[in-house]
A and B are shown apart, each in its own frame.
Chain A
Amino acid sequence: MNKFDVVVVGAGPAGSTAAYLLAKAGLKVLLLERGRGAGSKLLWGGKAYAQPLRDVWPELDKEAPIHRWVTKERISVLWGERAITLEYKLGRRVAFTSPLTELAAWMARKAEAAGALFLDEVVVEEIVVKDGRVVGVRSGGDFVAADVVIDAEGANRLLLEKLGLADRPNPYHMAVAAKEVISLDPRLIEERFGLERDEGLSWLVLGDVTLGIPGGGFVYTMRDTISIGIVLNVGYGAEAAEKGVLRDHISRLLENFRTHPYFRHYWKEADVIEYGGRMTVEGGLRFAPKRLYANGLLVVGDAAGMLVNAGYTIRGVDTAVTSARVAAEAVLEARDKGGFTEENLRGYEERLRKSYVYKELVDHSGVAEIFGDPFFFSKVPPFLVRAASKVFEADYAEPTLLEALKTSAQEEEINMLRLMLKVGRVVRRI
Chain B
Amino acid sequence: MRIVVGIKWVPNTQAVRFDPETGTLIRKGVPSIVNPHDLPAVEAALRLREKTGGEVIAISMAPPPAVKGLELVLGMGVDRAILVTDRAFAGADTWATSYVLSHAIRKIAAEIGEVDLAIFGHETIDSSTSHVQAQVASWLDWPYLYYVKRVEPVGGKLLRVWRELEDYEEEYEVETPAVLSIAIKAFKPRPVSLSSKLRAKLEKRVLTWTNADLKLDPRCVGLKGSPTIVAKTIDMPEVPRKKEVYRPKDGKDAARWIIAKMVHDEKLREVLKGLVGGEL
Interface set of A (CB-CB < 8 Å, partner B): 1-2, 30, 32, 36-37, 117, 119, 121-122, 139-142, 144, 273
Contact between B201 and A2 (Cβ–Cβ < 8 Å)? no
Neighbouring A residues of B191 by C-beta, 8 Å: 140
8 A Cβ contacts from B48-101 to A: 68, 71-72, 75
Neighbouring B residues of A140 by C-beta, 8 Å: 191, 193-194
Neighbouring B residues of A32 by C-beta, 8 Å: 194
Q: Please judge, given known A-B contacts A139-B193, A140-B191, A141-B193, whether A121 and B72 are in contact too, CB under 8 Å.
A: yes
Given A117-B202, A121-B71, 7 other A-B contacts at CB below 8 A?
A1-B202, A2-B195, A36-B68, A119-B201, A121-B72, A139-B193, A273-B29
For the complex, what is the distance from the CA of A140 to the CA of B201, rounded to whole Å? 18
For the complex, what is the distance from the CA of A394 to the CA of B198, rounded to whole Å? 71
Q: How many whole Å from B92's CB to the nearest CB in chain A? A: 26
Is B192 an interface position by the 8 A CB rule?
Answer: yes
Q: Please judge, given known A-B contacts A121-B75, A273-B29, whether A142 and B202 are in contact too, CB under 8 Å.
A: no
Neighbouring B residues of A2 by C-beta, 8 Å: 195, 198
Closest to B196 in A: A142
Contact between B201 and A117 (Cβ–Cβ < 8 Å)? yes
Q: How many whole Å from B263's CB to the nearest CB in chain A? A: 36
Q: How many whole Å from A164's CB to the nearest CB in chain B? A: 23
Contact between A119 and B193 (Cβ–Cβ < 8 Å)? no
Neighbouring B residues of A144 by C-beta, 8 Å: 194-195, 198
For the complex, what is the distance from the CA of A141 to the CA of B193, rounded to whole Å? 8
Contact between A139 and B201 (Cβ–Cβ < 8 Å)? no
Q: How many whole Å from B196's CB to the nearest CB in chain A? A: 8
| Interface size class of chain B, counting residues whose CB lies under 8 Å from the partner chain | 10 to 19
Neighbouring A residues of B31 by C-beta, 8 Å: 36
Instruction: Please list the 4 inter-chain residue pairs (A to B) with the smallest Cβ-Cβ separation, ordered nearest first.
Output: A142-B194, A139-B194, A142-B195, A121-B192
Neighbouring A residues of B71 by C-beta, 8 Å: 121
Q: Please judge, given known A-B contacts A141-B193, A142-B193, whether A119 and B198 are in contact too, CB under 8 Å.
A: yes
8 A Cβ contacts from B193-228 to A: 193-195, 197-199, 201-202
Contact between B198 and A1 (Cβ–Cβ < 8 Å)? yes
Q: How many whole Å from A360's CB to the nearest CB in chain B? A: 35
Of B29, B197, B202, which one neighbours A122 at CB under 8 angstroms? B197
Q: How many whole Å from A19's CB to the nearest CB in chain B? A: 14
For the complex, what is the distance from the CA of A117 to the CA of B193, rounded to whole Å? 16
For the complex, what is the distance from the CA of A167 to the CA of B254, rounded to whole Å? 46
Fill in one digit per residue for B167-204: 1 if any A CB lies within 8 Å of its CB, else 0: 00000000000000000000000011111011101100
For the complex, what is the distance from the CA of A119 to the CA of B195, rounded to whole Å? 10
Neighbouring A residues of B198 by C-beta, 8 Å: 1-2, 30, 117, 119, 144
**19 pairs from A and B in contact (CB 8 Å cutoff):** A1-B198, A1-B202, A30-B198, A36-B68, A117-B201, A117-B202, A119-B201, A121-B72, A122-B75, A122-B194, A122-B197, A140-B191, A140-B194, A141-B193, A142-B194, A144-B194, A144-B195, A144-B198, A273-B29
Neighbouring B residues of A139 by C-beta, 8 Å: 193-194
Closest to A32 in B: B194
For the complex, what is the distance from the CA of A36 to the CA of B198, rounded to whole Å? 15
Neighbouring A residues of B195 by C-beta, 8 Å: 2, 142, 144
Closest to A40 in B: B31
Q: How many whole Å from A417's CB to the nearest CB in chain B? A: 54
Neighbouring A residues of B29 by C-beta, 8 Å: 273
Closest to B199 in A: A1
Neighbouring A residues of B68 by C-beta, 8 Å: 36-37
Neighbouring A residues of B193 by C-beta, 8 Å: 139-142
For the complex, what is the distance from the CA of A117 to the CA of B200, rounded to whole Å? 12
Which of B31, B192, B199, B202 has most chain A Cβ within 10 Å?
B192
Neighbouring A residues of B194 by C-beta, 8 Å: 32, 119, 122, 139-140, 142, 144
For the complex, what is the distance from the CA of A32 to the CA of B68, rounded to whole Å? 16
Q: How many whole Å from B227's CB to the nearest CB in chain A? A: 36
Q: How many whole Å from A258's CB to the nearest CB in chain B? A: 19
Q: How many whole Å from A119's CB to the nearest CB in chain B? A: 5
Contact between A121 and B202 (Cβ–Cβ < 8 Å)? no
For the complex, what is the distance from the CA of A273 to the CA of B199, rounded to whole Å? 37
For the complex, what is the distance from the CA of A121 to the CA of B75, rounded to whole Å? 9
Closest to B19 in A: A271
Closest to A274 in B: B29
Q: How many whole Å from B191's CB to the nearest CB in chain A? A: 7
Neighbouring B residues of A37 by C-beta, 8 Å: 68
Q: How many whole Å from B135's CB to the nearest CB in chain A? A: 31
For the complex, what is the distance from the CA of A140 to the CA of B194, rounded to whole Å? 7
Q: How many whole Å from A271's CB to the nearest CB in chain B? A: 9
Neighbouring B residues of A142 by C-beta, 8 Å: 193-195
Q: How many whole Å from B221's CB to the nearest CB in chain A? A: 30
Neighbouring A residues of B199 by C-beta, 8 Å: 1
Which of A1, A32, A117, A119 has most chain B Cβ within 10 Å?
A119
For the complex, what is the distance from the CA of A139 to the CA of B194, rounded to whole Å? 6
Q: How many whole Å from B14's CB to the nearest CB in chain A? A: 15
Q: How many whole Å from B97's CB to the nearest CB in chain A? A: 25
Neighbouring A residues of B202 by C-beta, 8 Å: 1, 117
